[in-house]
Structure 1
Amino acid sequence: MAIKERVSLFKRYSDERIHQVEPFRTYYLIMEGTNTEPQYFWHLDRFLAKHRVRNNVKLVFLDRTHTDRGRNTPRQLFTFLREWRKENKDENAIYCMVFDRDSYKAYENPAEAYLAFVRRVKATAVRMIVTSPCFEIWLLLHRERAVAEYIWPDSRNIFLNRRLNSRYTYLSKLVQDVFGFNPKTSVPAEIVEKVDVALAQAGFLTSDVEEMAYEIGENVSAFIKELCFDPRDLR
């Protein structure tokens, strides 16, 4: 196993005011995808920093090295992250893995296999950031009225997310049709400018990782809200 770090750091407050906010938090993220998810989170990171809505948070993106790039199943990511946590010895950090429920659709019993893995991870210190069926559902939420106009009317096809050809699954083709880009190859930075739209619509879908075995959903929104939380609002 080999992992390398990419660090993103933004201090929202000047040093003399650090004592007024929560202790500095570090999040380590490892992602199943090598294009869609990393591009989105890098764009989001820059967007939050630009608009000064990050609260003394350090994001560390964990990349598999070249020899490990093909090892991207949820089980392998989980192993990588647990080994990294042991080596890193930062017990106060939050260790997150980003993956799709779709990763289990080739199993004989996809829901059973997915739930077995989720319940195993729940018993550990690893945080799961999950999308069902895949990360494109989170991207789709960035379009106004996406739930009412695209997701609910076509929920069966979206949940199954069958592969259409070598370039597209059902949902990636829908994202292409709605936004004009293929999320499997590139995610434009402009999409994160609509993150508030996505956060508002996320409440119409489940955020429970176990319910995602049978439903369309995501908990990316909960993670982003946590990044943006300002403890001064509680004073």
Structure 2
Amino acid sequence: MRKLLPAALLALTGCALLRISLLSDLYLRYVKEGLRPLLIVSGVVLVLLALLAVLRVRHHDGGAEAVDHGHTHAAAGPRTAWLLAIPAVMLLLFAPPALGSYTVARDGSGAVAKRTTFAALPARSPLALSLADFTSRAVWDEKGSLRGRTVELTGFVTPHGSGSWQLSRVIVSCCAADARVLKVEIHGLAAPPGDSWVTVTGTWRPDAKVPALDATGLDRIPRPKNPYRDVARPRP
């Protein structure tokens, strides 16, 4: 039975990858959308390798034993390899959530991409903006294109200090390991529950030290399919 354990580990890992990438959209909690084909191929390859390992054991009578100085040694891999089974089982049984307010609360930066040019904003009101566009305009736009404009921002709630809160997004370039945080201080409205997704309507607060919004309205929305994709809420 021990001879089949490496095959079981391969099968567990492969099935876990297929569960989050082929049978669901859970992979979007960990990597960007374009990596889905690679995850599916990897899962299939690991399952096939597991099947080949089982066939090899059956046809060669486990022939991975060698005799050295009168002792028999099994050709098993290092015991630490079994640590790989832990994340595989976790993905099969329950998927850890996407990064949220816990990550934001422990990030001291609040990434704001530096820009030198900004396209003219459409005349419609309220104007739906991504958090990346809003924060970069709030910090770097010397012409103050946000001044006096009513905007809509979408993200999740991060409690911040006593009675204050932030509208946040976590953006990834490749996977959750390279995540960067966007956040906007919200003033004028009570904080909804942490990690709830909302669209906030309001106006830019130009005298704030960080990107901030004086909020006038709030809508609770479902969690997006891809929580790491920072896009403006589409207008109906």
TM-score tier, shorter chain, comes to under 0.3
TM-score (norm 1): 0.19
Higher helix share: 1
Relative to the length of structure 2, the TM-score reads 0.19
**Higher RCO (Cα < 8 Å, 6 or more apart):** 1
